[in-house]
Every structure is written in C-alpha cells, then in structure tokens.
C-alpha cells in the first residue's frame, strides 16, 4: 500500500539539512495522523510527488512552465490510485508532464518542499507536502508540452529563468547529486 511505502520511505530517509529534517518530520506526522494523507481529498494538507530532471553532465535542467502556477517548476503532482509508491507517482508525473520516456530515476528522495496552493481545492488553500526525486536525461531527448504546461524547456544551469528560491535550491541539490554519482562511478576514476 502506498501509504505504508511513503511512511517507511520518509521515516527512513536521512535529510541533508535541518530544514529538510523538520519537513520530513512534519510529513511523517501527517501520514501517521491521516490514513488518507496522500489523497487530494485530504484537506488542508496532502502529500504529493515530483521529479527534477538534470542532464547527465549536470549542466542543464528541464523545467515546466506550469499553466496554473504561471511559474517555471519541476514536474509533479497528486498521487493517483495506480501509484504503488511515491517514486512511482513521481515517475508517472514526470512522464505525463514532460513526455520524457528515456531517463534515469533515483528512488532516493532529494528534498521535501511544502507550498501553499490556491487552485487545488474549492475548499480553500491547501498545502502540498511534496517529496521530490532526482532524474537525469539527455537534453537531446524527446519532450513535449502537456495540457498542464505552457512550455517545457532545457535551461543551462548557469542561465536559469526566473523562478522561486526553492527551485534554485532544488536544482543545485540535483546537480550536486549528479556530480556525486559521477565522481563515485568507476568510469570517472
């Protein structure tokens, strides 16, 4: 069951910073208190899943110009009934929103992010308790603009568009994860 997976994943995850640790603790408490805590119907908070895509070289990032938020963001969204794990939900959202079919996906969360959303519910503002995963792909791969987007585009990490501060931190963390995995691989020795 995805609720059990999400709870185990988050409870066992080692956060990279005290801020991430506080968010992780909030998410774990939310899931312990709400058996429906992954569902869009859970109000005023629910867990969501997403992915940030960087090039395998770590020099570019694929961003979605989200239609409703009117901002350049990573890919992600609500948990669906067919999702068996948070990682599955993030992969599905990545495919749906970017059209990417060829990418490497790391099932170890990169970072959590809590953000208020005004367009998610007719009951008022909700908080997405987002769990974000890293993925890598080649910038020459096929991607498309979905109905949820105005644009999907690769950006050089040294010439990013205007976005939220947490997106810049997420991109930095994803690039760092790519750099660490590249330096740890036998090919780079």
Q: Please give the average per-residue pLDDT across 44-60, as a whole number.
A: 95
Please check the confidence at residue 188 and state whether its pLDDT lies above 50: no
Mean pLDDT computed over 165-188: 80
How many Å from the N-terminal Cα to the C-terminal Cα in the chain? 41
Give the residue among 177, 187, 147 at the shortest CA–CA distance from 56. 177
Q: How confident is the model at residue 189 (pLDDT cuts 50, 70, 90)?
A: very low
**pTM of the entire predicted model:** 0.91
Calculate the CA 149 to chain-centre distance.
Answer: 16
Question: Collapsing DSSP states into helix, strand and coil, what is residue 164?
Answer: coil
Average pLDDT over residues 115-119: 75
At 140, which CATH number?
3.90.79.10
pLDDT at 119 (0 to 100): 64
Q: What domain count does the chain have?
A: 1
pLDDT at 181: 77
- Closest among 124, 102, 128, 98 to 37, alpha carbons compared: 128
Question: What is the model's pLDDT at position 122?
Answer: 66
Phi, psi of 176 (to 5 degrees): -65, -40
Structure confidence by residue, pLDDT tens digits, 63-95: 998 777 788 999 999 999 999 999 999 999 999
Range of the structural domain that residue 64 is part of: 2-188
């Amino acid at each position: 069951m995805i609720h059990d997976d999400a709870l185990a994943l988050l409870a066992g995850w080692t956060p990279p910073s005290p801020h991430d640790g506080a968010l992780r603790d909030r998410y774990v408490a939310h899931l312990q208190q709400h058996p429906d805590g992954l569902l869009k119907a859970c109000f005023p908070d629910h867990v969501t899943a997403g992915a940030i895509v960087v090039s395998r070289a770590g020099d570019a990032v694929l961003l979605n110009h989200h239609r409703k938020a009117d901002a350049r963001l990573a890919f992600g969204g609500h948990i669906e009934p067919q999702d068996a794990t948070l990682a599955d939900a993030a992969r599905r959202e990545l495919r749906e929103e970017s059209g990417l079919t060829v990418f490497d996906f790391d099932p170890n969360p990169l970072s959590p992010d809590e953000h208020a959303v005004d367009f998610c519910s007719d009951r008022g503002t909700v908080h997405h308790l987002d769990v974000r995963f890293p993925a890598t792909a080649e910038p020459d791969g096929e991607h498309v603009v979905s109905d949820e987007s105005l644009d999907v585009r690769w950006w050089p990490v040294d010439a990013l568009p205007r976005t939220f501060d947490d997106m810049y931190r997420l991109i930095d963390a994803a690039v760092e994860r790519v750099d660490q995995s590249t330096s740890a691989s036998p090919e780079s020795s």
